[in-house]
Amino acid sequence: MEMTGLQIFKYLPGAKKTEKANCKECGCPTCMAYALKLAKQNIELSKCPYINDELKEKYLHSIKHPQKTIEIKGLKIGGENVLHRHEKTFLNRTTLAIIIDCTNPDYQHIIKRINEFEIKGVNELFHIDLIILKNFNNNKPLVSNVPFITFEEFENYKFIKIYDKDFNQTKTQLIEIRKKAILEKDEKYSDPVCVFMNKQDDTYSSCAKASYYICKYANMIVFENFDEAMFSTIVRLRENIYTDPQKPLQVESNLYEFNNPDKNSIVFLTTNFALTFFAVANELENLPVPSFLIVIPAEGMSVLTAWSAEKFTAQIVANTLKNLDIRNRLNTRTIIIPGLLSHTIEELTEAVPDFKFVVGTNEASAIKDFVKNLQL
């Protein structure tokens, strides 16, 4: 674990109230300021000439990177710093790779299926990360959008390899290796971990096991079978584990269309918090009438949070309408705002006088009934 500013401060002259306390030789106004900077690694240890050996050793150990990073074809594998995602974040998604044996007469077809596999995320499209080719004949050119390497090339990378035979055994190994790497910073366990799935497992079993290994703590998983349904499941799971818990999931600020609207269709407005967006979008998709949804950039905050943090203001709404060129793109001049923001109507009308704002529902699930009774 990295040291906090307070932990560092305890060792400094400022805390010990010795002669050099707050001497400013490091360029900081106080020892505490230096400690806080050092904790964030924004200043060098050597800037303070009065650091004792104990602090030096503890600090250098605390900033030592616990797990190495391997880079294959632009994919970063490993490099994790924490045991649990909520402590900070996981950095590099578990790489999902598939081994293809080119002596298999069907191998080109499998590669084609892998290339066609695509999962739509919140703001991203996901694919299989890597293909590893066994018995690859260089004379036969391979067309693939998914990056690929030969098995021989892959063997040159230094992973801790686990060949999955028994679930409990693999699980225990993964947890122990990660603990040794992160908590003890033990060099012997600092290489990223690659699990080779058992080819004999059926799809359900592979899916369940791989799901666990993604959570704890495989840096890479290599499969010998490709099944679209299984990968749809584990890619989705992986995306939930590898989001940054400190950053709310957000969608792009934009004008979204539902059921082929024309310029006169009804228009809703909300913030760019992903959960809010998908809740509203789901309702709009299922309405019997076409509609638009204007999404305000609110740093991924939900409606009321955005308002209280001043990320949903009349000015931001006015700017968004301008940036999205709503006046030219739509004839509709009425915008339905979330019910929770009813108190902003006056402000909105003042900032955007050529639009009429109508208070919608507090909950997305009530939109259907609201639209039935809507008279604009």
Q: Which is nearer to ligand SF4, 20 or 179 (CB)?
A: 20
Residue 326 has phi, psi (to 5 degrees) of: -65, -35
Q: Which of 1, 16, 22, 339 binds ligand SF4 (CB under 6 A)?
A: 22
- State yes or no: residue 269 binds ligand SF4 (CB under 6 A): no
- State yes or no: residue 90 binds ligand SF4 (CB under 6 A): no
- State yes or no: residue 36 binds ligand SF4 (CB under 6 A): no
- State yes or no: residue 16 binds ligand SF4 (CB under 6 A): no
DSSP characters over 215-283: HTT-SEEEES---HHHHHHHHHHHHHHTS-TTS--B----EEEESS--TTSEEEEEE-BHHHHHHHHHH
Please name the helix (run of DSSP H) or strand (run of DSSP E) that holds residue 151, with its range, or none.
helix 151-155
Q: Name the token pair of 8.
A: 């560092």
Stretch that binds ligand SF4, among 20-28, 238-246, 318-326, 344-352 (CB under 6 A): 20-28
CB of 7 to ligand SF4, least distance (A): 14
DSSP characters over 160-202: EEEE-S-HHHHHHHHHHHHHHHHTS--GGG-S-EEEE--TTS-
Q: Which is nearer to ligand SF4, 17 or 140 (CB)?
A: 17
CB of 32 to ligand SF4, least distance (A): 8
CB of 13 to ligand SF4, least distance (A): 4
Stretch that binds ligand SF4, among 14-22, 80-88, 171-179, 330-338 (CB under 6 A): 14-22
For residue 36, give Cα distances in angstroms to 12, 33, 39, 56: 12, 5, 5, 15
Q: Which is nearer to ligand SF4, 22 or 305 (CB)?
A: 22
Q: Which of 3, 8, 31, 39 binds ligand SF4 (CB under 6 A)?
A: 31
CB of 56 to ligand SF4, least distance (A): 13
CB of 221 to ligand SF4, least distance (A): 46
Map the footprint of ligand SF4 across residues 38-77, applying CB under 6 A. Answer: 48, 50
Q: Which is nearer to ligand SF4, 62 or 144 (CB)?
A: 62
CB of 8 to ligand SF4, least distance (A): 9
For residues 355 and 343, give the distance between their C-alpha atoms in angstroms, rounded to a whole number.
16
With CB under 6 A as the rule, give the number of residues binding ligand SF4. 14
For residues 136 and 108, give the distance between their C-alpha atoms in angstroms, rounded to a whole number.
11
Query: What region does 35 belong to: left with phi over 0, alpha with psi -120 to 50, or beta?
Result: alpha
- State yes or no: residue 25 binds ligand SF4 (CB under 6 A): yes
Question: Other CB atoms closer than 10 Å to residue 110's CB: what's the count?
Answer: 16
Q: Which is nearer to ligand SF4, 23 or 82 (CB)?
A: 23
**Amino acid identity, residue 78?**
G
- State yes or no: residue 14 binds ligand SF4 (CB under 6 A): yes
CA-closest candidate to residue 266, choices 123, 155, 375, 122: 375
For residues 216 and 184, give the distance between their C-alpha atoms in angstroms, rounded to a whole number.
17
Stretch that binds ligand SF4, among 8-16, 103-111, 248-256, 280-288 (CB under 6 A): 8-16
Q: Which is nearer to ligand SF4, 23 or 318 (CB)?
A: 23
Q: In b/e form, how buried is each residue of 300-319, taking b as 16+ CB within 10 angstroms?
A: bbbbebbbeeebbbbebbbe
Residues in touch with ligand SF4 (CB under 6 A): 12-14, 20, 22-26, 28, 31, 34, 48, 50
